[in-house]
Amino acid sequence: QVQLVESGGGSVQAGGSLRLSCAASGNVFLINVMGWYRQAPGSQRELVARITRSGTTNYAASLKDRFTISRDNSKNTVYLQMNSLKPEDTGVYYCATGPTPLNLKSWGQGTQVTVSS
């Protein structure tokens, strides 16, 4: 029902920044919550941040000071600004959306973020 197209991933040095974008299309009524998740090698997929249509945010506690999520409802696009990147931030970052945080059934293909030391 919803297609997600991600961009902005890449390779950076520790301390650098990246801005990820995810544009959603399809049934806009299903795009209530948008979020970013990541999976590092050898680790479980984890929440990075979520944002509702009204702008309420939820972050992983360990990332709140460095990452910022935002969205543009007119474009059905969610962004993730990542600052002060660390090697442990390396992983595949996925964009997801759905009616509620527990029903994020539409996922992007993932974009690789690599942070070197």
Residue 18 has pLDDT above 90, yes or no: yes
Mean pLDDT for all residues in the chain: 96
Whether 30 shows a pLDDT value over 90: the answer reads: no
Amino acid at 80: L
User: Which secondary structure element, helix H or strand E, spans residue 94, and what is its range?
Assistant: strand 91-98
pLDDT tens-digit series, residues 43-58: 999 999 999 999 999 9
Query: For residue 76, what are the CA distances in angstroms to 37, 38, 69?
Result: 18, 20, 14
Q: What pLDDT score does 108 carry?
A: 97
Query: So what's the pLDDT on residue 29?
Result: 84
Q: What pLDDT does residue 32 have?
A: 93
What confidence category does residue 28 fall into, taking pLDDT thresholds of 50, 70 and 90? confident
Pairwise CA distance, residues 10 & 4, whole Å: 18
The 3-state DSSP class for residue 36 equals: strand
pLDDT above 90 (res 66): yes
Reported confidence tier of residue 1, pLDDT bands at 50, 70, 90: confident
Amino acid found at 24 = A
